[in-house]
Amino acid sequence: MADYITTYTGIHFYPTDPDPEAINIEDIAHALSLLCRGNGHVSTFWSVAQHCIICAREAAAREWPDRLVLACLLHDASECYLSDVPRPFKAELVGYREHEDRLLDMIYTRYLGTPLSPEEQRMAREIDDGALYYDLRDLLHNEQSEQDPQFHVIPSYDFRSFQEVEKEYLELFRYYYNRYKNALGGDSHAKIPGGGTLQDLAELPTCPPQRPGPDYDLLADQVRAFAETEPSLMPLLSNAAALLKDAMADVNWAGFYLRREPADPSSADAFNNPSSEATVMANEAGASSARTVPSPDLLLGPFQGKPACIRIPWGRGVCGTAADRDRTQLVSDVHAFPGHIACDSASNAEIVVPIHRSDGSVTAVLDIDSPLKGRFDPEDQTGLEQFVRVLEQYGEWD
Ligand code: SME
């Protein structure tokens, strides 16, 4: 019997006596996308590659060096040649660990130039263990006693085709490998590990591959179907928030803030329950200046996510700014946005789209938050504005 396995690309690979030249990223991406996590004890197919992609994206979100992003992507790559042996059994298999460690070192050396240092191993393991916690909790439904590890990426356990996952794995690899090798510099014609030359790699994409976005045309159709059935705002906006939260990757909050007019400043209620800071300041200055025109507020509406701030003054925060300027706010890093109002400390990026009544005035905003910096791009903006146009057209705003 042959002492090699034949890989997806047709290479003869000797698992007990591996040749570094036989290690191939296309084989790794393909096989890991077809290997099921948890030895198949999961409710639906979910691959080792999906786990590795989460780890790599988490390393990137933590702004760790490209070398560590790649290490996280490759940390289970030996499984494509040795298979995924459950941890308790692995401990019993004499020699298995040694083979696995040797092969992993070879894989790291092939793509990163050297094996991982002990500190790099510790960092990669920290993310691997965090992802394992969510795998056990959400994929295998195991009770977890510890606190949720702080993750920027929100792991998704939705079924995806292996072809789509394989493509994402390869795109991530190529992007970070390209940057890693270019940062190291060197002769552009030199043969580099893993095949190709620096010249070839320079032609590869220069921005991080995004997770496939939602189908915004489909989302617009879905919200239109809800609106045609029932245009009143409470059910419509509740389902709209649910649709978005469910369809968009790495979103921790999706919902609406609705414009509320200030109470009549001459009424007693306006003093007890001022609707905005403009009125508060006017009240502090005395009854006569309280007659200055106060601004409306944004009041929390239907949403999905953690509990959020109830009132936002017009012009304040990302939501108030979008409403006041009547312009979508696409914020890559909320901590760099002056006056950002933090509701969920996990949020790092935000997009807010104004919603109009039939007379053209701003009557509400759609607000979406993500733990991932730079999560939203102009494509999301166009898609969400299209979604909001449907709400404007069908909802009972007037
Ligand atoms: N961050 C928003 C507040 C609302 S929460 O994100 C749900 C803002 O700055 O307006």
Query: Dihedrals φ, ψ of 20, to 5°?
Result: -55, -35
Cβ–Cβ under 8 Å, residues 46 and 34: no
d(CA 34, CA 30) in angstroms, rounded, equals 7
d(CA 383, CA 378) in angstroms, rounded, equals 9
User: Pick from 106, 124, 117: which is nearest to 193 by CA?
Assistant: 106
Query: From first to last of its 398 residues, what are the pLDDT tens digits of the chain?
Result: 679 999 999 999 999 899 999 999 999 999 999 999 988 988 889 999 999 999 999 999 999 999 999 999 999 999 999 988 888 888 899 889 899 999 999 999 999 999 999 999 999 999 999 999 999 998 888 887 888 899 999 888 988 999 999 999 999 999 999 889 888 875 433 444 544 444 444 455 556 677 778 999 999 999 999 999 999 999 999 999 999 999 998 899 999 999 999 876 555 444 344 444 443 333 444 444 445 667 899 999 999 999 999 999 999 999 999 999 999 999 999 999 999 999 888 899 999 999 999 999 999 999 999 988 889 999 999 999 999 999 999 999 98
Q: How far is the CA of 315 from the centre of ligand 1 (A)?
A: 12
Q: Which pLDDT does position 184 carry in this prediction?
A: 80
Q: Which pLDDT does position 101 carry in this prediction?
A: 94
Q: What is the distance of C-alpha 287 from the center of its chain?
A: 49
Vertex 122: Cα angle to 149 and 73 (nearest 5)? 80
Residue 317 beta carbon below 6 angstroms from any ligand 1 atom: yes
Is residue 83 left, alpha or beta, with left meaning phi > 0 and alpha meaning psi from -120 to 50? Answer: left
Beta bridge partners of 207: none
Instruction: Name 251's Cβ contacts closer than 8 Å, sequence gap at least 6.
Output: 154, 244, 245, 368, 369, 370, 375
Which H or E element spans position 237?
helix 233-247
Strands (E), 169-248: none
Tokens of 15: 């698992």
Q: Which pLDDT does position 144 carry in this prediction?
A: 79
Evaluate whether 5-201 and 216-261+296-394 have a shared fold. no
User: Pick from 138, 165, 159, 157: which is nearest to 149 by CA?
Assistant: 138
Supply the residue whose CA is at minimum distance from atom 2 of ligand 1. Answer: 341
> Which residue among 367, 368, 370 has the greatest number of ligand 1 atoms within 8 angstroms of its CB, and so is best to mutate?
367
Q: How far is the CA of 317 from the centre of ligand 1 (A)?
A: 6
Tokens of 127: 């993310």
% helix, strand, coil for the chain, step of 5: 50, 10, 40
Cβ–Cβ under 8 Å, residues 86 and 37: no
Q: Which atom of ligand 1 has the smallest separation from the CA of 255?
A: 7
**Burial of 51 per CB tally in 10 Å (0-12, 13-18, 19+):** buried
**Burial of 173 per CB tally in 10 Å (0-12, 13-18, 19+):** buried
Cβ–Cβ under 8 Å, residues 116 and 74: no
Supply the residue whose CA is at minimum distance from atom 3 of ligand 1. Answer: 341
Beta bridge partners of 12: 6
Q: Which pLDDT does position 212 carry in this prediction?
A: 74
Residue 299 beta carbon below 6 angstroms from any ligand 1 atom: no
Residue 76 beta carbon below 6 angstroms from any ligand 1 atom: no
CATH superfamily of 5-201: Hypothetical protein af1432 (1.10.3210.10)
Domain spans in the chain, listed from the N-terminal domain onward: 5-201, 216-261+296-394
Q: Which pLDDT does position 246 carry in this prediction?
A: 93
> Which residue among 318, 345, 362 has the greatest number of ligand 1 atoms within 8 angstroms of its CB, and so is best to mutate?
318
Task: Tell me which CATH code domain 216-261+296-394 carries.
Answer: 3.30.450.40
Residue 322 beta carbon below 6 angstroms from any ligand 1 atom: no
Residue type, 287: A
> DSSP class of residue 372?
S
Q: Which pLDDT does position 286 carry in this prediction?
A: 43
Q: How far is the CA of 193 from the centre of ligand 1 (A)?
A: 46
Q: Which pLDDT does position 84 carry in this prediction?
A: 81
